[in-house]
Structure 1
Amino acid sequence: MGKDLKEKDAQEIGRPGLESAMNEKPEIIKSTYKGSGKLKGKVALITGGDSGIGRAIAVHYAKEGADIAIAYLNERKDAEETADMIEKEGQNCIKISGDLKDFTYCQDLIETVIKTYGKIDILVNNAATQYVEEEFSAISIEHLEETFRTNILSMIYLTQQAYQYMEKGARIINTTSVTGYKGHNELIDYASTKGAITSFTRSLSAQLAPKGILVNGVAPGPIWTPLIPATMTGIEDFGKNTPLGRCGQPSEVAPAYVYLAAEDSSYMTGQILHINGGIVVGG
């Protein structure tokens, strides 16, 4: 990581994290990335779309011609910056703030997208939270429930509402994690939710396949996003234990979401793409 990264950032950047407050900003899109209209005319809803991986997905989708809706908790400045980036690509963006743990918000979110754009072609379930805890017995009920409600239960709530408006060829893309495959000794509850997301992806894909709706996922490894300095210490070593010896950037993950949203992946469902710096996992 860069020399500006300090452990104090974990206290200074509030949960779930502000990209605008980070000392070392993530790379959102590579200067060499050229859109080719892969998603022209599509409408995508991205949760956690204000920053990090979600922002990168939104900008890449806009680069490919999609109109965007981003759902975010309360990070208004980040959301506005993301919307500006999308609009600079010539695409529309709406920003909807709220708590995905609230089922009513999930309903309102989908209704807003439908009222604004008239359809939803791509749902990216990306929002998540985590709490680092060295001792298993110290995981609080409050944090346990928040992690599960944010990471997997809200994903199910939102998908239930969204898929009713989806037609043949639509895509649902879920963000899981390398921790869901290899575990993490200090993120036991978080890793458990990510394993559940993988099972949810596989199971839902089987049910929706006859409808022609494709359901896949991406399992990022250590990626530099606002959630990292907001929840972890020792971040100067973040990602160094991967074969590539560094953490990844959102710009290196987002193209996988483009592939899963585009016609290129028309014969793929129930699968997980692993963008993790070379960590070999099963499944």
Structure 2
Amino acid sequence: MDRFSLKGRTALVTGGGRGCGLAFARGLAEAGADVAVFDVIEQSPDFSAIEKECNVRTAYYKVDVSSQDSLKAGFAQFQKDFDNKLDICVPCAGINRHTRFLDFTYDEHHDLLSINVLGLYFTAQYAAKQMIANGTRHGSIILVASMASYVAVRDQNCSAYCGTKGAVRAMCPAIAKELTEYGIRVNSISPGYVNTEMTAAFSHLVEGWKTETINKRIAEPEDIMGACVFLASDASSYMTGQDVVVDGGVTRIS
């Protein structure tokens, strides 16, 4: 079980103020890692409690990953506060839009690309540069993709979102290949239907989503947490360039 321990390591989670990002931050802290969070929302009371419950160091930074200036400033402050230490990065910040393909506007699609693809890509890049500069020995970058990169989402018009998450899954092995020489592993997680603030707007679709899963329920963020901790830890030391699907079996029975 020591191989699952993250004691002595430092993690950064974007979009960590709520939903799956908050669950990932909590899971990494419970495994012993100090955790920093980037998010555009005000600090979550639940996040502040992690420090007390897990006896680890935490920090929260208001950062917009779609803005290069904001992202650079966030990393600069994070590096200063954590003495340039970084072992784990989970770029989780993302948005969705329920809009028909024929009605989608250029600006709407640009917003998704700026956060879900560019924001994630450059978060991973800045993290990798920091890991390389400091000779990190256990570097792990965990990109957050989605079940939507495999299948169309039932009763939702989200072609642009599916495209952005497909981009995340496609870039994962390519980035992993380039970072292997630095001892940095890169994997991704593809969650299925999860009960978060993002999906709350589609509460009327939940019953239909349940019928698509093998176990007839949608996930809570904590159901995805374990995959993140596993990929961050030495327990997955031989895994890189892989996508871990945590979707209740939707992509296996669709």
Taking structure 1 as the reference length, what is the TM-score of the superposition? 0.82
The aligned residue for residue 50 of structure 1 is: 17
Counterparts in 2 of 1:1-283, with a 5 A limit? 38-76=5-43, 79-118=44-83, 119-133=85-99, 135-166=100-131, 167-184=136-153, 186-230=157-201, 232=202, 234-237=204-207, 239-240=209-210, 241-280=212-251
CA–CA separation in structure 1 for the residues paired with 2:149 and 2:240: 19
CA–CA separation in structure 1 for the residues paired with 2:72 and 2:126: 6
Displacement of 1:281 in angstroms is 5.1
CA–CA separation in structure 2 for the residues paired with 1:238 and 1:129: 22
Letter in 1 for 2:144: T
Kept in 2: contact 1:217–1:272 (CA 8 A): yes
Kept in 1: contact 2:4–2:233 (CA 8 A): no
Displacement of 1:106 in angstroms is 1.2
Kept in 2: contact 1:131–1:190 (CA 8 A): yes
Kept in 2: contact 1:239–1:248 (CA 8 A): no
Displacement of 1:83 in angstroms is 2.0
Structure 1 alignment gaps of length 5 or more: 1-33
> Could you list the per-position Cα deviations for residues 98-137 of structure 1 after superposition, in whole angstroms to 9, with x for gaps in the alignment?
211110111112112211112111000101000012x311
Q: Runs of 4+ in structure 1 displaced over 6 angstroms?
A: 34-37
CA–CA separation in structure 2 for the residues paired with 1:238 and 1:54: 25
Taking structure 2 as the reference length, what is the TM-score of the superposition? 0.91
Percent sequence identity over matched residues? 27
Displacement of 1:36 in angstroms is 8.7
Displacement of 1:169 in angstroms is 2.2
Kept in 1: contact 2:71–2:123 (CA 8 A): yes
Compared CA separation, residues 106 and 281, structure 1 to 2 (3 A): farther
Displacement of 1:80 in angstroms is 3.2
Letter in 2 for 1:213: I
- SS of alignment partner, residue 84 of structure 1: helix
Structure 2 alignment gaps of length 5 or more: none
Letter in 2 for 1:182: V
CA–CA separation in structure 2 for the residues paired with 1:90 and 1:35: 18
Compared CA separation, residues 35 and 80, structure 1 to 2 (3 A): farther
- SS of alignment partner, residue 216 of structure 1: strand
Aligned length: 245
- SS of alignment partner, residue 217 of structure 1: strand
Displacement of 1:279 in angstroms is 2.1
